[in-house]
A = this chain, B = another copy of it.
Amino acid sequence: MEIRIINPNTSSSMTASIGQAASRVAAAGTRIVTVNPADGPLSIESHFDEAVAAVGVCEEILRGEQAGSDAYVVACFGDPGLHAARELTRAPVLGIAQAAFQMASMLATRFSVVTTLQRTVIIAEHLLHNYGFAHQCSRVRAADIPVLELEDAACCSGRLIDEARRARDEDGIGAIVLGCGGMADFAHEMSAAIGLPVIDGVTAAVKLAEAMVGLGLQTSKHGDYAFPPAKIFTGRFQHFSRPA
């Protein structure tokens, strides 16, 4: 089975890092393909970055359809373009935020999210509200780390552990969800340091994707996620055109 992991930003080093994290948990028969759009933001830290990145996510889904991928993971915590991506394929498409929330809700009755910048807190809160996990999440916390600084592990590890420890001691929770696709490498160290499950969405989504493919479950094509109506697209987006 081929799982195509789409890093929605254009940082190839983060793409590589995400791929390594994914490969570590993939089953024997799973082939991990990790890609990122050629065009888009180098990191995703705002609604605007998400909006631009969503186009790249859709294009990578279409590319994956050519390649015959069996499932997709959108590896940015805002789940940018997730609904759109699901319209474009019968294969399961997972967002790492939704995947992480689901895992957390089976391990603890309450969890907190530790994310990067304060401004992305609201993005996580919107997702919790939409997915139905708002009452299970005590608090979304920002560690005040720009996304690309996550690659400097030495620097970030301490700040993430400190924030997670505060969550454990103040929020009445049983688990931590990591609020960024670039944090996968910190999960084990954090969990060891604070004694709680720490859930990384990238690896969670890979295993959920394997589960869904194993069950033969596919994205519904009745109604909500049906293929988009064929139509004309113009300009830079004319490659999306299909005759009606």
Report A's interface with B, CB cutoff 8 A. 10, 25, 27-28, 37-43, 45-52, 54-55, 57-58, 81, 83-84, 86-88, 92-94, 98, 102-103, 105-110, 117-119, 121-122, 126, 129-136, 146, 168, 172-175, 195-197, 199, 203-204, 207-208, 210-212, 214-215, 217-220, 222-226, 228-229, 231-238, 240
Whether A45 touches B223, Cβ cut-off 8 Å, given contacts A54-B54, A132-B131, A204-B215, is no
Q: Is the CB of A236 within 8 A of B130?
A: no
Whether A172 touches B220, Cβ cut-off 8 Å, given contacts A52-B233, A129-B135, is no
A223 to chain B, nearest CB (A): 5
Q: Is the CB of A132 within 8 A of B133?
A: yes
Q: Is the CB of B45 within 8 A of A55?
A: no
Among candidates B39, B94, B129, B196, residue contacting A220 with C-beta atoms closer than 8 Å: B196
In the assembled complex, which residues on chain B have CB atoms less than 8 Å from the CB atom of A88?
A: 48
Q: Is the CB of B229 within 8 A of A121?
A: no
A199 to chain B, nearest CB (A): 7
In the assembled complex, which residues on chain B have CB atoms less than 8 Å from the CB atom of A84?
A: 46-48, 50-51
Q: Is the CB of A118 within 8 A of B215?
A: no
Q: Is the CB of A108 within 8 A of B46?
A: no
Q: Is the CB of A103 within 8 A of B47?
A: no
> Which residue on chain B has the smallest CB distance to residue A199?
B217
A53 to chain B, nearest CB (A): 9
Bound CA–CA A145/B226 (angstroms): 17
Bound CA–CA A135/B117 (angstroms): 21
Q: Is the CB of A233 within 8 A of B41?
A: yes
Q: Is the CB of B215 within 8 A of A45?
A: no
Whether A41 touches B223, Cβ cut-off 8 Å, given contacts A87-B46, A109-B122, is no
A9 to chain B, nearest CB (A): 9
Whether A40 touches B211, Cβ cut-off 8 Å, given contacts A51-B81, A122-B110, is no
In the assembled complex, which residues on chain B have CB atoms less than 8 Å from the CB atom of A210?
A: 207, 210-211, 214
Whether A42 touches B211, Cβ cut-off 8 Å, given contacts A54-B51, A197-B217, is no
